[in-house]
Amino acid sequence: MEQTKILKKKAVQIRKMVLEMIYRAKSGHTGGSLSCVEILVSLFYGVMRIDPKDPKLPDRDRFVMSKGHSVESYYAVLADLGFFPVSDLESYCQFGSYLTGHPTTKVPGVEVNTGALGHGLAIGVGMAIASKIDSACYKVYVLMGDGELDEGSVWEAAQIAAHYGLDNLIGIVDRNRLQISGDTEQVLRLENLEQKWTAFGWHVIHVDGHDIEQLINTFKGLPVERGKPHLIIAHTIKGKGVSFIENNKDWHHKVPNDEELRMAMMELDEKLKELDADE
Amino acid sequence: MNEKSKMASRHMVAQALMDLAGEDEAIVVVTSDARGSAAITKFFDTFPERAIEVGIAEQSAVGIAAGLALCGKKPFVLGPACFYSARAFEQVKNDVAYTGANVKIIGVSGGVSYGPLGSTHHALHDVAAFRAIPNIDVILPSDANQAYAVVKHLVNRERPAYVRIGRNPIPFVYDEPFFEIAKGYVLRSGADVTIIACGEVVWHALKACEILSKEGIEATLIDMPSIKPIDEETIIKSARNAGRVVTIEEHSVHGGLGEAVSAILGKNFPVPIEILGIPDEFPVTGKQEEVLSHYDLDAVGIAKRVQKFLRRFSHGR
């Protein structure tokens, strides 16, 4: 319980870092970065075997940020953990910075360059097969956007993962129900997602993607079914944590102005006070 | 060189992988329902735990290979060059080259190897496509021996590479397998013209040189298997000697060996250059040999075009 309390606050702090990065860079993907914060916080602080002092630890768990545009929350988490200095986040998207607008392996802790959608799951399949070949213990986590599932390559990789019975592979869908043009069900109907993934041979679990305790418990309980890859459908809210950004497609890659940043920070600071008061 | 015995490069690539995999446990093979065309059925039987079949899914084959490489494996992806250089292009660009994943793509049945099957199955753009991506080597072996040596060389070269080979048995240019990256091999010397060729038309170029010699034209012939990185020094040195250069490739005249050579000479020692390749059109229907012949990429055609070129740029010789 103590850990959950700390991580709840951590999630709010990460959100503040995300907004500051986007505001400073005048560039970024606000909505999708905010929707996956609890997923990242749960994995990186509560589940995965990683060492910020040794980013290449041989048997570390692997994380693939397939929805590479949510890079701000990813960088914020890695910096906060000590993979690189937090102060470097100020250079995000600035000329010559190693912190590019989609993840690259120049950043300590990042496993693979992503940004084009539909690539991460196949990469994760390769990593999971490598783990099996070596009889290693590491698991592979691939975070995808829900809009990303429009890409056919995702389903190719899904078939292959099931064919090889990769129960060390965990796909996570940030199911925030919005993509650039609007509602995922209106742009290109995704549902019934559970039935689709189940038919592809995956074990599917639904979670509240903002409930850290539930996320951690779910991840720690995997695999539920031996011989099957697992898909976590994490139900989230795009832009989570800032009321005027939540569930608004215009904030897919909108950058906050001075007033919007001030209001957002005020709301997040209020949230931090609330969490402190609960303790 | 051996005119009588022939061998398809894919068999020697497969043999090299077999020979090396016994000692190097990091070697893995990934294919997309192309075990037969890549001649790797025996590898699958011998090293089943390191042989990964992904079905007809070239994009995933490359992505999976990147994941394997990032976890310390040395993956070789084998399958038709036409699909790996087009459908899986984004995976090669991002997952492999941009990330710097140590993946080797072996494009088999490249060029017009599939002959009459049509342009869906031809790879005549692959060199141009991969040359334009940073951080990936582009190699076209000229015979089965060199193909063997290429694989052996690449196993311990920790960076991405694309290797294009053909499908059909071809004569041996070399008696022994040897290959070094960024090295051109001078197969014969002559002062009248420099011919630079790559891949499976090198053999035709060699025969063309014999025809030219009978006509009193002595050519230098350079086999340039490594197109990126390329052997600039040998190219410039030879151009200085002959003053006229002809390039030959089983590839579009756009973006391949010819333009690579042109760029180097344009900057360092401008001389007249003729680029022989497939013109900017979808090729005629026919077997590989027929298509090559149609576009003057066989011995007779090459000799004819070289003579025509030399007449245009005689420089008062």
Q: What is the mean pLDDT of residues A86-115?
A: 98
Please say which residue of B109, B138, B172 terminates a domain.
Answer: B172
Question: Band of the pLDDT at A278, cuts 50, 70, 90?
Answer: confident
Structural domain span for residue A222: 2-278
How far does Cα B275 stand from its chain's mean position?
16
Nearest to A156 among B50, B60, B98 (CB): B60
Quote the CA–CA distance of A88 and A79 in Å, as a whole number: 8
Confidence of residue B314 (pLDDT cuts 50, 70, 90): confident
Neighbours of B2 (CB within 10 A): 13
Average pLDDT over residues B281-287: 97
Give yes or no: residues B102 and B164 share one domain.
Answer: yes
Q: Are B157 and B118 spatial neighbours (Cβ–Cβ below 8 Å)?
A: no
Residue B160 and residue B282 in one domain: no
Residues B281 and B250 in one domain: yes
What band does A222 get if pLDDT is binned at 50, 70 and 90? very high
Instruction: Name the residue facing A126 among B57, B59, B66 (closest C-beta).
Output: B66
Min Cα separation A205/chain B (Å): 24
Same domain, yes or no, for B195 and B54? no
Give A156's contacts in chain B (Cβ within 8 Å): 54-55, 57, 59-60
pLDDT for A22 equals: 97
Closest chain A CA to residue B97: A113
Give domain status of residue B317, yes or no. no
Question: Could you report the per-residue pLDDT of B224-242, keeping only the tens digit for each?
Answer: 999 999 999 999 999 999 9
* ipTM above threshold 0.95: yes
Residues B136 and B75 in one domain: yes
Are both B190 and B306 inside the same structural domain? yes
* For residues B18-38, average pLDDT: 97
| B15, B151: one domain | yes
Residue B177 lies inside a defined structural domain of this protein: no
- B35 and B120 share a domain? yes
Confidence at residue B66, expressed as pLDDT on a 0 to 100 scale: 98
Supply the CATH number for residue A179's domain: 3.40.50.970
Taking residues B146-169, report their average pLDDT. 98
Look up the domain containing B286 and give its range: 185-310
Inspect the interface and report whether the beta carbons of B90 and A128 lie closer than 8 Å.
no
**CATH assignment of the domain containing B192:** 3.40.50.920
Q: Are residues B241 and B300 in the same domain?
A: yes
Confidence of residue B4 (pLDDT cuts 50, 70, 90): low
B156 and B208 belong to one structural domain:
no
**Percentages (nearest 5) of helix, strand, coil residues in chain A:** 50, 10, 40
- B67:A130 CB<8 A: yes
**Does residue B203 register a pLDDT over 90?**
yes
How far apart, in whole angstroms, are the C-alpha atoms of residue A25 and residue A61?
A: 31
* Residue pLDDT, tens place only, A229-238: 999 999 999 9
Record: contact B64-A125, CB cut-off 8 A:
yes
Q: Is the pLDDT of residue B130 over 70?
A: yes
Which residue of B29, B99, B159 to mutate against A (max A Cβ within 10 Å)? B99
Q: What is the arithmetic mean of pLDDT over B167-179? A: 96
- Using CB atoms within 10 Å of the CB of residue A137, give its burial: 0 to 12 exposed, 13 to 18 middle, 19+ buried: exposed
Number of domains forming the structure of chain B: 2
Report chain A residues touching chain B, CB-CB < 8 A: 58, 62, 104-105, 111-116, 119, 121-131, 133-134, 140, 153, 156-157, 159-160, 163
Last residue of a domain, one of B139, B172, B205: B172
Same-domain check for residues B68 and B129: yes
| Whether the predicted pLDDT of A273 surpasses 80 | yes
- The answer to whether position B99 is within a domain reads yes
Residue where one domain finishes, among candidates B149, B172, B195: B172
What's the number of CA atoms in the CB half-sphere (13 Å) around residue B71?
Answer: 30
| Mean pLDDT computed over A50-56 | 98
pLDDT tens for A131-146 read 999 999 999 999 999 9
B contact test, residue of A61, A63, A100, A113 with most B CBs within 10 A:
A113
